[in-house]
Chain A
Amino acid sequence: MADNSAFAALIHDGLFDPSPKESILRVKDAVAKELTALDSTARIKSTDYFNHTFAPDFVMSWPDERSRRVYLRMAYDLDALVDDVALIDSTDPLIFGLTESESIEAKPRVDEVIADSDAMFTEPAALEKLIDRKKADSTANMLSNALAQGGKGSFVGNEAVELADVVQRGFQSAANVETMGTAEAIGAISARFQGQQAWRMNRVLQAVWEGSEGPLSTFPGTADVSGRLNIESLSYLLKYMRTDDKGFWRRVGRRLTLADLESLNFSEPNIQNLIQANLDVISARATIVKPDPLGVDEVPLGGRYRWSKRGRHVTFEAPNLFAVIGSAKTALSDVDEEAAAAVPVEAFMGRVGETDLVEVTLHSGPEHISVKSDEGAINKERLRGVSATFGGSAEVAQALVSSRTGRVTVDLPERSGTGKTQSKVRMADLLMTTIPLVVDVPDDVRKGIEEHLKYEDDNGERPLDLLALEAGEARGEVRALSGGSPLPVPPPFLALEAFTEGVFETDWDSPASE
């Protein structure tokens, strides 16, 4: 025995226990633990058999209903082993030689027998080397899962870690858009994995290649041209990558959408990395903020600011509040409505902070007043003055706010924020704009939210100035798009329009308009 690995040693010691019953228990227990260490997503079910010619010792199964049978084999008698392997009636068995050196010796003969099938032959020390590597190598983590589910051919001695080397180089090469290393990995993946696993691994490599601005036309494998990293591949990365490298998560998430997020498993810690690295591309149209004063609904794990999922909705969590996020206001129709009320003007002013108010609707009883500014923030003193016309009883019902990527209609009684129809407001901006206006947020929490939702624009390019465009449209301006410069912006003005009950300025988005 040429290894000091714990699983291999446990299996070896168990094999030589003189009690048949104890021996089987010990060996199967150690093998089950090793398989679990190889792929923690697998359910490892032990059968009532041991070293049986036809019946498997274990059945590994996965949440997607796939399964694989595991046959334990003694590899001392090479002829018997080869004959036994040939008798296994399964399309893709995992044949587990119980001892290392005999399995290495048997490899050439076993290879001949399993050459045209999806069978895999391995031994405890070979898998253990890969398992040990998982701690330091995120690709080994992904690889070991793929191997358990769809490895084919022999993996004895150093073959599993050698494949991990090739795949790791492939990921590094794909991140640098280098053909040679990527192609080598693709070749190895194709040779060493069954179809579905090979496709999945290749798709992840392609995602890294594309995320690194590599043209699909030069990707050295069969490119998936569906255009986006599909959910399956993304889920795979979330589950098996062990990296918090923002650059990596940014590369694979450049086309991430809110709908993608809604399909992903938020119990994976990597989801936080994925979202944080891609705040600059994830758009959202609507959010409803819920106070959680006692923190009873706070997610017990993770930081004070984090992403989670409630029901099917992506949710942003902060101390004593959470914000449910949707691709449209109608998508949040199942979120319970709060019995919130409009906010007195003074209280509203306390919440505004640095927020750029474009328009604010005050009301007092049946009367509504819309206060509107075409440039920058509404002068607070002016707003106070307007509210005074109601005799100090005015409350704020709605506000139109400009964010970095578009305007947001904030409805205080609903505690909601809705992006303007024409704009593509980023989820982070929607939240940063809405939350402080609809609930009372302590300064430290407000800063925490801003810090958590801060992002840099992709490639340092300034996004399209939707705010200016919308402002122009709102005033019926003609914008000289082809010339690249807008017509001179008129001087700032404050519109004061008084309405009576039932009459309302409808320039804003409302649920009905969506």
Chain B
Amino acid sequence: MTRIEGESAQAKGADGAQRAKRWLESTTRVNAQWVNPNPPAVAKLTFPWPHGGQNFSFDLGGLLKFGGYDGHEFFAESKNYAEPGDLPKHYSKFLAQCYVTYSLIPARSDHFMWIAWSPHSITDWSKLTTAEYVRTHVVKHRERVFGTDDEGEAEALVNDDIVSEVASRLWLVVLSKKQETLVISKEHRGVIDKYEAEKGD
């Protein structure tokens, strides 16, 4: 019987979010159930900025599976850029989004993943997931987060507990085309899938 062919014909049409979903799910530890801009996913991945009347949304969301992460929810931003370009600007906004999201739904904000095909801010790389770095960029987006353009006022309004929680939940994932292929083999994934599909029988 013929199988559908195509895994090697790598996802040509997919954008970064779809590719991120496939890579995450090929780890066997993730179910990225919701992908923007599929209409059913939009409402689940979209949140309001506290000020200014606008919304933001993540590219992906879903659940981690097994081990210590089992059942944890995650939101992810995926940036399929070959060059760093304006990734620092996007990452800064992403941090502010994570802060707002955690403020709104802490119980569902177990992990925030930044998935990109290029690193950025290399000189600050080790600091990108620190509370201090998060705090700085939350303040940077103070108008939408706190409704003020006064930096001092915003500094005073930052909740450092939330900043620490967000920082501890950040993941930086840098993918490459080749890395996307270096995942569990189809055969071995099949064994796990079979086990999962049939467990409890």
Is A56 interfacial (CB-CB < 8 Å)? yes
Is A455 interfacial (CB-CB < 8 Å)? no
Whether the pair A116, B2 counts as a contact (CB closer than 8 A) is yes
Pick the residue among A18, A51, A53, A114 that contacts B22 (CB under 8 A).
A53
Pick the residue among B4, B39, B41, B62 that contacts A117 (CB under 8 A).
B4
Is B150 interfacial (CB-CB < 8 Å)? no
Interface size on B, residues (CB 8 A): 42
Q: What 0/1 pattern do residues 42 to 60 of A give for CB contact below 8 A with B?
A: 0001011111111110010
Whether the pair A18, B38 counts as a contact (CB closer than 8 A) is no
Is B86 interfacial (CB-CB < 8 Å)? no
Pick the residue among B26, B37, B201 that contacts A54 (CB under 8 A).
B26
Whether the pair A113, B4 counts as a contact (CB closer than 8 A) is yes
Is B11 interfacial (CB-CB < 8 Å)? yes
Q: Which residues of B contact A91 (CB under 8 A)?
A: 1-3
Q: Which residues of A contact B41 (CB under 8 A)?
A: 74
Pick the residue among B7, B73, B196 that contacts A87 (CB under 8 A).
B7
B190 nearest in chain A by CB position: A89
Provided the pairs A53-B26, A54-B193, A80-B18 are in contact, do residues A20 and B5 lie with their beta carbons within 8 angstroms? no
Provided the pairs A20-B33, A20-B44 are in contact, do residues A87 and B1 lie with their beta carbons within 8 angstroms? no
Is B21 interfacial (CB-CB < 8 Å)? yes
The minimal Cβ–Cβ distance linking B57 to chain A, given in whole angstroms, is 13
Among residues 151 to 200 in chain B, which have CB atoms less than 8 Å away from a CB atom of chain A? 186, 189-190, 193, 196-198, 200
How many Cβ-Cβ contacts under 8 Å join chain A to chain B? Answer: 114
A88 nearest in chain B by CB position: B4
The minimal Cβ–Cβ distance linking B60 to chain A, given in whole angstroms, is 12
Is A362 interfacial (CB-CB < 8 Å)? no
Whether the pair A16, B2 counts as a contact (CB closer than 8 A) is no
Whether the pair A24, B33 counts as a contact (CB closer than 8 A) is yes
A59 nearest in chain B by CB position: B197
Is B49 interfacial (CB-CB < 8 Å)? no
A77 to B19, CA, bound (A): 13
Whether the pair A113, B6 counts as a contact (CB closer than 8 A) is yes
A118 to B3, CA, bound (A): 8
Whether the pair A83, B189 counts as a contact (CB closer than 8 A) is no
Among residues 32 to 71 in chain A, which have CB atoms less than 8 Å away from a CB atom of chain B? 45, 47-56, 59, 69
Pick the residue among B15, B40, B197, B201 that contacts A16 (CB under 8 A).
B40
Is B14 interfacial (CB-CB < 8 Å)? yes
Whether the pair B1, A79 counts as a contact (CB closer than 8 A) is no
Is A104 interfacial (CB-CB < 8 Å)? no
Provided the pairs A18-B44, A20-B44, A77-B18 are in contact, do residues A87 and B3 lie with their beta carbons within 8 angstroms? no
Whether the pair B33, A83 counts as a contact (CB closer than 8 A) is no
Q: Which residues of B contact A114 (CB under 8 A)?
A: 4
B12 nearest in chain A by CB position: A83
Is B78 interfacial (CB-CB < 8 Å)? no
A15 to B43, CA, bound (A): 10
Q: Which residues of B contact A83 (CB under 8 A)?
A: 6, 11-14, 18
The minimal Cβ–Cβ distance linking A195 to chain B, given in whole angstroms, is 9
A86 to B25, CA, bound (A): 15
Q: Which residues of A contact B65 (CB under 8 A)?
A: 48
Whether the pair B189, A54 counts as a contact (CB closer than 8 A) is yes
Q: Which residues of B contact A98 (CB under 8 A)?
A: 40
Pick the residue among A19, A55, A85, A118 that contacts B196 (CB under 8 A).
A55
Is A305 interfacial (CB-CB < 8 Å)? no
Q: Which residues of B contact A87 (CB under 8 A)?
A: 6-7, 11, 22
Whether the pair A86, B9 counts as a contact (CB closer than 8 A) is yes
Provided the pairs A15-B40, A16-B40, A49-B31 are in contact, do residues A69 and B7 lie with their beta carbons within 8 angstroms? no
A27 nearest in chain B by CB position: B40
The minimal Cβ–Cβ distance linking A180 to chain B, given in whole angstroms, is 32
> Told that A54-B189, A89-B186, A91-B1 touch, could you supply 18 new A-B pairs with CB distance under 8 A?
A15-B40, A20-B61, A47-B197, A48-B65, A52-B25, A52-B31, A55-B25, A76-B38, A77-B38, A83-B12, A83-B14, A86-B6, A86-B7, A87-B7, A91-B3, A92-B1, A113-B4, A117-B3
A to B CB contacts below 8 Å, 5 in the list:
A45-B201, A74-B35, A80-B15, A83-B14, A83-B18
